[in-house]
Amino acid sequence: MRWCRFQSGARQAFGLIEGDTVTEISGDPFSAHAPTSTRLPLGQVQLLVPVVPPTFYAAGVNYREHVTEMASRRGVRPEFPPNADVGYRANNALIAADEPIVIPKDATDQVQYEGELVVVIGTRCKRVSEAEALDYVLGYTIGNDVSERTWQRGDRTFWRGKNTDTFKPMGPWIVTGLNPDDLRVTIRLNGRTMFSYAVKDAIFGVRQFISRMSQYLTLYPGDVLWMGTDGATENMKDGDVVEIEIPGIGVLRNPVVRER
């Protein structure tokens, strides 16, 4: 199933996508829901961020080539994370597919994409094993963990380096029934493939993160876990278009503008 959230006039609703048609759903994917009689052409609905999470988790550094490349650019030794210690991002920064990533006036030119898989929790859980972890997942979507590298390195926290408004594109929708081990992420800038990697090459996988997190934290329906990116990342500038594609899910496309 493909779950979306969309704006229809003054209404925000969840919908199920079949082919090119969105069926509006009363309720939400996490609890009782039923189809309504409203059907709309997918091309005519304004997609919203597919879920606004109660808590917004991010694996952060979780792929070896990304760690190695980014360390090499800074002239430091790569340090791989010893444990699946999850981090956080912030809801203010979320934007939907096709909405612009806005680079603030005072940002440097080091504003970079990070294309990654996003796990959407479906069912409340605590203390689950790795073997059962995926039973608590509703589905998967795509995220772009946009980062201003000088703020990321220079500030005490990731507040503006990672969470400036518009720095967290997520979408276009949530797909259920996938095996994360089968997925590949491809990042394109202005149509050119910049990097492509297999989700399963992560240092810590989806099952490991969910199981470890849930030993201390209750995971709630709608919580999202961004799995981290692989490879080197490059700058985005005014007028660029960045696309993150995960076959089986879709394409998360966003234009880039710089404030003047």
Binding site for a second copy (CB under 8 A): 52, 54-55, 60, 81-83, 85-88, 90-93, 104, 126, 155-157, 159-160, 163-165, 213, 216-220, 223
13 versus 225: smaller Cβ distance to a second copy: 225
Residues 6+ apart with CB under 8 A from 141: 50, 51, 118, 120, 170, 171, 172, 173, 174, 175, 224, 249, 252
Question: Which of helix, strand or coil describes residue 89?
Answer: coil
Least separation, in Å, of the C-beta of 188 and a second copy?
A: 27
Least separation, in Å, of the C-beta of 84 and a second copy?
A: 9
54 versus 247: smaller Cβ distance to a second copy: 54
Asked if residue 82 has a cis previous peptide bond (ω within 30° of 0), the answer is no
Least separation, in Å, of the C-beta of 5 and a second copy?
A: 16
Helix, strand, coil percentages (3-state) for the chain, rounded to 5, are 15, 40, 45
Least separation, in Å, of the C-beta of 245 and a second copy?
A: 29
CB-facing half-sphere around the CA of 168: CA atoms within 13 A: 29
Least separation, in Å, of the C-beta of 95 and a second copy?
A: 11
State how far the Cα of 246 lies from the Cα of 16, in Å rounded to an integer.
Answer: 19
Question: Which of helix, strand or coil describes residue 218?
Answer: coil
82 versus 191: smaller Cβ distance to a second copy: 82
Torsion sign across C-alpha atoms 140, 83, 181, 255: positive
Least separation, in Å, of the C-beta of 215 and a second copy?
A: 8
187 versus 203: smaller Cβ distance to a second copy: 203
Name the residue among 159, 11, 170 with its Cα closest to residue 87. 159
132 versus 259: smaller Cβ distance to a second copy: 259
12 versus 21: smaller Cβ distance to a second copy: 12
